Structure 1
Amino acid sequence: MTTPDALQAIGWPLAQDGLPSDPVWREALALRPKARPARIVEQHRTGYIVADGPEHSFPVESLPEWQRPANYRKGGTAPEDRPAVGDWVLIEGDTPKHSKIVELLPRRTSIKRAAAGEHYRQQLIAANIDTVFVVCGMDADFNPRRIERYLLLVRGGAEPVVVLTKSDLAGGGSASAVDDALAALVELAAQEVPVRAVNAKDSASVAALNEWLQPGRTAVLVGSSGAGKSTLTNTLLGTEKMKTSEVRESDSRGRHTTTYRALIPLPTGACLIDTPGMRELKPTGEEDVAENFTDVETLAEQCRFRDCAHQREPGCAVRAAIESGRLDPQRFANFLKLSGEVAAAADKAAGRRAQKADEKAKVPGKAPAKRPAEKHGRR
């Protein structure tokens, strides 16, 4: 029998009366008296694994529309609207073996990216997250611009924290190398984005993340392959649960040792979602670039002309800041690049919505199929 304490241990937000603190979730439970809550802890091609406590997980069936490809002519649900790791669902069934998902509860927060390919599609990375740990190694793969891209995608309710791993390897473990890496991210600190440098293999060093891993909270690890996410997970767990591998010496990039997303309860009482490394980070068009580049936006407001393109216009505060060394030119270039990508993705998203609306409008008045003879002009 599921207990409120067991659910709370995997992130279920409880009010004092033992019911969920979210009023929408309360209403959903009231409308389905035979249903009980569970959380998606693994997502596979063939189905889902859910948990109703930190030590009790089991496979469940899902609604048929969640199993079909997202084809608007034939029905089906878009990938971002299907359950994902971190989601809370309602399940029905007398036993875990015969349980099935009957409803997806509204998400409090979510992390998404645009899927690879020409056609616009969104891919949900994780749902109902309190903290996003953006993990980057302080080795040859250290890249402040990539960290900025990750931060752009993870905004939206969850608190971002940049975790710099491999402090024991940076510059041979020298304190100056760590200081240099932190200095390269000084703009993030100025925007109140916490930055922590840790040795992912050392539990005492990793304890610097405990303030974001309190009981009932959920965190997700995102970052490139080889950044140390699985090593960090193992250290937080206190056991070698996640597979790890060595990175290439040539570029410090790793292989995909984590092949699927999984939600794991931690000894601190928090939950952690480890994700596969992402080589392509495309915006969805819903991101707020200004929120991640407040320093650039503040400078732009000081330009003489409101429509300043920050090129050769007189009185440009942005160019003045770059020339005086107060603004990193590479950060500004990344701001322009990401702004263009978000705008292009927003256009694609609008086109997709319009196409979806057109297809939906055509269904009710669909013309009857022609007989073979009519198709070739014969009557």
Structure 2
Amino acid sequence: MARLKNFVDQDERRNNFKKIEKIKKEKRSVRGRIIDDWIIDSPNSDLTKKEMQEKLDELYKKGLRRGRVIEVQKRNVFIAEENEKGLPETENLWLCSVAKRHFQRAHKERNFVVVGDRILFEPNAELQFDSDGQPIDTDLPHGVVQHSFLRTSKISRKDPMHPEWEHVMLANIDLVAIVASVLNPEVRWGLIDRFLVQAEIEKIPAVIILNKVDLLENEKLASKDFLETYKKRIAIYKSIGYEIVEICALKPKKNMDNVKYLRKLFKGKLIGFAGHSGVGKSSLLNLMKPEFEQIVDENPDIFYKGRHTTTYNSLLQLDIGAYAIDTPGIRSFDINNYDPITLSYCFPEFRPFKCKYRECAHDHEPQCGIKQAVADGKISKERYRSYMGILKGVSFREGEGDSTDATMIADLKAREQKRDEDLAKEEFLNNEIK
């Protein structure tokens, strides 16, 4: 009987434990929703513009400061304090953590603090300040991030590991520089199209920068067919109205006019650099003379093999009166699923043409103005194929469009493999002769 009573008591304790855990979970859930004050100027707030400013002034009086996130490493956030003009002073760095209460948020982002974010942080209580309000007796003062401001723009994709999450890559930028290499690795036009869609959604100006153009002079790498296709693609984007700048970051003197044009284009802006792995974003950024030179392998052979060197996002001040966010190269860029009306608007060349049905998907509907424009040569087949690939959610690792591109990708890989084999054979023969 004693053993039976003991068993009953244990079973009752298990049930009580489950009930207690359920109550705790519900309380945590409710508490997380109530104190979700991460976005200080949330559009859901009922405060007027004047009331919001009064709220901010009250927080400033309590010692909170405005800053810009310049680097994120796990839970450590490096912040540059902003000056009166709202510009980050990258020489005044703070090392902050995020207030623990914000980790209870039910968010769908891979990282809700990203480089470029404008935030409010609270200095640690033990810090002492001079007459100018700067910390003394420390080279890297510490603080806690309490709030973030609403983002004015962002470039994001689906997280490769968790497709239901959003991976914000760039925040609060004025211009997105989509960098690609013409060869090694070969330019992925589908990847460029996906970046352009994101730029159109966020109303961010975009410039397409094609690097390593000196490789086009190598007949062993750039065949006549490749050059013809490449020039056709350039003409397509220029006809739409996108800016394209061709450059070789390792040999800037060969295209100095384009380097000067980029410096002029970037002046006074926060530029987000994005693109495929190994396309030379860091080398290009070094031409803009950042405060810290980006690590690039000095061996030019490594540069032309498409090896990436950037491992995390960082915000840098440029000597041309601008700021830049350098990002690691990506292998895929799978964006959100948009409805046909929204997505077709992100293809500027689609806008002048009208369809019989207002909600036309431009797929197999009758009397479709877009399909007719493609047939008439007024819209390129390549861009239409990219549109269909994004609409149907078909994505390849290289960032190409719909399923008909599978043959193109296989051909591309075969050509790259043949080039490598021919170069290796030529190198072997040269060594034999020596």
Q: Cα distance 1:125–1:24, how it changes in 2: closer, same or farther (>3 A)?
A: farther
Distance (Å, rounded) in 1 between the aligned partners of 2:71 and 2:247: 28
Q: Cα distance 1:38–1:231, how it changes in 2: closer, same or farther (>3 A)?
A: same
Distance (Å, rounded) in 2 between the aligned partners of 1:99 and 1:121: 28
- Give deviations 1:265-310, integer Å, cap 9, x for gaps: 00011100000111111112468422332323434x1x56667665
Task: Tell me what 2:68 maps to.
Answer: 39
Pairs within 5 Å for 1:337-348? 337-341=389-393
The correspondence for 2:238, drawn from 189, 203, 222, is 189
Further displaced range: 331-340 or 91-100: 91-100
Please state if 1:209 is matched with 2:268: no
Does the CA contact (< 8 Å) of 2:292 and 2:316 recur in 1?
Answer: no
In percent, how many aligned pairs have the same letter?
23
Task: Tell me what 2:113 maps to.
Answer: 83
Q: Cα distance 1:35–1:138, how it changes in 2: closer, same or farther (>3 A)?
A: same
Pairs within 5 Å for 1:268-307? 268-285=320-337, 288-299=342-353, 301=354, 303=355
**Bigger helix fraction:** 2
Pairs within 5 Å for 1:1-379? 26-27=53-54, 29-32=56-59, 33=61, 34-52=63-81, 53-66=89-102, 68=103, 75=105, 77-79=107-109, 82-93=112-123, 94=127, 95=135, 96-117=140-161, 119-139=163-183, 141-155=186-200, 156-172=202-218, 181=230, 183-201=232-250, 202=252, 204=256, 205-215=258-268, 217-237=269-289, 241-245=293-297, 254-285=306-337, 288-299=342-353, 301=354, 303=355, 316-341=368-393
Q: Cα distance 1:153–1:247, how it changes in 2: closer, same or farther (>3 A)?
A: farther
Report the secondary structure of 1:100's partner residue. strand
Q: Note the residue ranges of structure 1 that are not aligned, 5 or more in a row.
A: 1-21, 69-73, 343-379
Residue identity matched to 2:203: G
TM-score where L is the length of structure 2? 0.62
Does the CA contact (< 8 Å) of 1:63 and 1:102 recur in 2?
Answer: yes
Deviation at 1:133, TM superposition (A): 0.2
Structure number, greater radius of gyration: 2
Distance (Å, rounded) in 1 between the aligned partners of 2:111 and 2:229: 42
Report the secondary structure of 1:85's partner residue. coil
Size of the alignment, in residue pairs? Answer: 309
Residue identity matched to 1:154: A
Does the CA contact (< 8 Å) of 1:126 and 1:220 recur in 2?
Answer: yes
- Give deviations 1:334-372, integer Å, cap 9, x for gaps: 111112229xxxxxxxxxxxxxxxxxxxxxxxxxxxxxx
Q: Cα distance 1:341–1:88, how it changes in 2: closer, same or farther (>3 A)?
A: same
Distance (Å, rounded) in 2 between the aligned partners of 1:323 and 1:338: 20
Q: Note the residue ranges of structure 2 that are not aligned, 5 or more in a row.
A: 1-48, 82-88, 128-134, 395-434
Task: Tell me what 1:71 maps to.
Answer: none
Distance (Å, rounded) in 2 between the aligned partners of 1:232 and 1:28: 42
Distance (Å, rounded) in 1 between the aligned partners of 2:50 and 2:214: 47
Residue identity matched to 2:155: I
Does the CA contact (< 8 Å) of 2:279 and 2:308 recur in 1?
Answer: no
Q: Cα distance 1:172–1:253, how it changes in 2: closer, same or farther (>3 A)?
A: closer
Does the CA contact (< 8 Å) of 1:247 and 1:255 recur in 2?
Answer: no
Task: Output the aligned Cα RMSD.
Answer: 3.4
Deviation at 1:324, TM superposition (A): 4.2
- Give deviations 1:88-133, integer Å, cap 9, x for gaps: 1112224452322121112111111111145400011121100000
Larger RCO, structures 1/2 (Cα 8 Å, 6+ apart): 1
Distance (Å, rounded) in 2 between the aligned partners of 1:170 and 1:60: 47
Residue identity matched to 2:264: E
Report the secondary structure of 1:108's partner residue. coil
Distance (Å, rounded) in 2 between the aligned partners of 1:125 and 1:118: 15
Distance (Å, rounded) in 1 between the aligned partners of 2:98 and 2:363: 54
Further displaced range: 23-32 or 87-96: 23-32
Distance (Å, rounded) in 2 between the aligned partners of 1:25 and 1:166: 49
Further displaced range: 181-190 or 117-126: 181-190
Report the secondary structure of 1:271's partner residue. strand
Distance (Å, rounded) in 2 between the aligned partners of 1:255 and 1:27: 50
